[in-house]
Amino acid sequence: MTTAVHTTPPLRQRPFMQVDVFTAVPYLGNPLAVVLDGTGLSDEAMQSFARWTNLSETTFVLPPTPEGRAAGADYRVRIFTPGCELPFAGHPTLGTCHAWLAHGGQPQATGPAGEVTEVRQECAVGVVALRPLAGSATDSGMRMAFAAPPLTRSTPEAAHLAQVLAALGLQPAQVLAAQSLNNGPEWLGLLLDSPDTVLALSPDHAALRALNQKVGVAALQPTTPDLPLIARSSREARAFATSASAAAANASPTAPATTEPDLWVRAFAAPVGINEDPVTGSLNASLAQWLMADGLLPQHRRHAYTATQGQALGRDGLVFLSRDDSGQVWVGGDVSACIRGTVTL
């Protein structure tokens, strides 16, 4: 009788970067670990490493699948939280693209002078296009934007919504609108009455985990001049940033004339092992698709606005949202490189 022997592939050095996404100033955004060569790694090895990094997401770059290659993909990415694999996520999309380009990746789509015009990234929801924002060169490099995947949405059930509001400590009168949002990841989106309400939340994360519900909350920036806590929070957070951060915010064609954002956002994701995510691309993408489609933004911001996220965690992320003439929503942001080297996997 023979006994099967299970062997583990030998460890080897793999190129690695850790980047900070949605900020031109390192350590004010959402960190991402990027293993730039994930070939030969098992699902278990990827999940184990993502759990070890303890970041909201860790990505692994792979060659495209045959289907992805046929669709023009430049590379494939797999995205892991500490607790599971995601079909799509925004800040890993921007961060992986930045790391891939910095590592020498050559997209198929380039301009006459060899400049990047588009990067096509394969993930579980399909091939996602990324493009540079016009006039968006910053100290941290090229500001890219990804095409938001198609969104499906519906009105949440009243009983479930009531349970979520209780877990958040919200009263129904504080909720202006609610939608179940799905662009790969699923979120319950809540538009609240003020940024102060957003910042003051102290959720029962165990209750949200038991409900298996990720929640994104947002509120519009007040248009009145007497701004309360929220404006002070913005200025205090930006005091740690350099003047380059404000300059970068104003460089984008999607940014308003002021550095004050149009939308304040928080993301609670206890069901996937993250009580609060610092800055969330997929959530901001689905919020933009919903708010733009339903006319819930001020008239002058219905085609382009900025969102900020992370203040409750000592961050100051900035997300650029825009909708082109075809109706496609684009989600952009800066990426700052923090760590370069190799990892043993």
Tokens of 34: 């990027």
Give the integer Cα–Cα distance in Å for 89 and 223: 31
Phi, psi of 221 (to 5 degrees): -60, 130
Looking at the DSSP bridge assignments, the partners of residue 144 are: 132, 333
DSSP secondary structure letters along 316-333: -EEEEEEE-TTS-EEEEE
Give the integer Cα–Cα distance in Å for 308 and 266: 9
Q: Is 178 helix (H, G, I), strand (E, B) or coil?
A: strand
What distances in angstroms separate CA 135 from CA 143, 248, 251, 253, 255, one per listed residue?
9, 10, 7, 8, 12
CB 258 within 8 A of CB 37: no
DSSP secondary structure letters along 118-164: EEEEEETTEEEEEEEEEEEEETTEEEEEEEPPP-EEEPPPHHHHHHH
Tokens of 104: 């020498």
Tokens of 174: 């504080």
User: What is the widest separation between alpha-carbon atoms in the chain?
Assistant: 81
Name which of 73, 70, 78 is nearest 40 in CA terms: 78
Rg, the chain, Cα only:
20
Which residue in the list 57, 115, 122, 157 is annotated as catalytic? 57
Give the integer Cα–Cα distance in Å for 261 and 255: 8
Which residue intervals of the chain are DSSP H helices? 43-53, 66-70, 90-102, 158-168, 195-200, 205-211, 229-238, 243-251, 281-293
Catalytic (active site) residue 115: no
Report, as residue numbers or ranges, the catalytic residues. 57
